[in-house]
Amino acid sequence: MREKILNLLSENASPDAVAWLRETISSQEAAFEKRPFYYAFSGVSRHFDKAGRLPADADEVFGGWDQYRLARVALLLLLAPQGKEVFVETFHAILNTADLREQVALFSALPWLPHPEDIREAAVDGLRSNIVDIYDSIALDNAFPARHFSDDAWNQMVLKAIFITRPLHRIVGIADRKNQRLAEAISDLAHERWAAGRTITPEAWQNCEGFINERLAHDITRISESEIPDDRAAAALVTSTDRSGKLENLRDSLVAELSHIQSGALTWKSLGQSMEEKLVRKSLT
């Protein structure tokens, strides 16, 4: 993984910066020392371009990342072969003094770091941040939460994503970590918002698949009657997988949407991507 990151940086960053990073990694591999590692981790900002960023389509995992983040993750991978005590102490020492970009790099590296039981709480705490970039580095495009979070921590992460309008389709494992308590919490949140004259993201209803009871059936019926196409798409997606029989009566009113699901044109991912693109366009106008 580290060599892949270095190759991506070689294609997008200055040769001098990449040479410095390779030399630093080589030196630390030969003899790991905490203090020089701390200096190097912080010193990335003196070598790489602050505004430098990989094209979004440069790589499935790292596309869109900035050079600081890539270089720091490459350095953090040096911690993996160290003993547990050294690893845990170094990780937390960096986190305790990290600035915003350094925290983003630390949390982005989680899927490739060892001893998840010793860094899981740091990730859970990080999700409490009001800084969207930090939240995103943990919750979006990151396999660590799906692998290691408890149901309670997972549910809180998903609910916060809904509160702060983050794209749920980019939460790794969201289709696999659905649970009854999360489905009920989403129903509660939807009723609160509807009572206040507000809406809930259509993506939220994916978390209710497989847990349809009378109340949730009523909720899905409500969004199936919405004038918002994305709501109707979500209702159809839930209906298409329902085995309870409680949504069978919706099929006649969702014929077009169900047809799109059958053809593969409509999925939770395509719905989420479409909604995210709309938000991006809206933010640019």
Return averaged pLDDT per consecutive 10 residues of the chain, 285 residues in all: 94 96 96 95 96 91 95 96 95 96 97 97 97 97 98 98 97 97 98 97 98 98 97 98 96 98 98 92 75
Encoded amino acid at 256, one letter: A
Range of the structural domain that residue 272 is part of? 178-285
Q: Are 207 and 189 in contact (CB under 8 A)?
A: no
Q: Which of 68, 89, 113 represents a domain boundary (last residue)?
A: 113
Per-residue pLDDT at 283: 72
Q: Which of 113, 132, 158 represents a domain boundary (last residue)?
A: 113
Residue 254 lies in a domain: yes
Residue 187 lies in a domain: yes
Contacts of 35 (CB under 8 A, 6+ apart): none
Residue 156 lies in a domain: no
Residue 158 lies in a domain: no
Residue 53 lies in a domain: yes
Per-residue pLDDT at 164: 95
Q: Could you tell me where the DSSP H helices lie in 127-213?
A: 132-139, 144-148, 151-163, 180-195
Q: Which of 82, 113, 144 represents a domain boundary (last residue)?
A: 113
The angle, 0 to 180 degrees and rounded to 10, between the axes of the packed helices 116-126 and 100-108 is 140
Residue 52 lies in a domain: yes
Per-residue pLDDT at 40: 97
Residue 54 lies in a domain: yes
Q: Are 193 and 199 in contact (CB under 8 A)?
A: yes
Q: Are 120 and 148 in contact (CB under 8 A)?
A: yes
Number of domains observed in the structure of the chain: 2
pTM score above 0.85: yes
- Reported as half-sphere exposure (CB side, CA atoms, 13 A), residue 231 has a value of 13
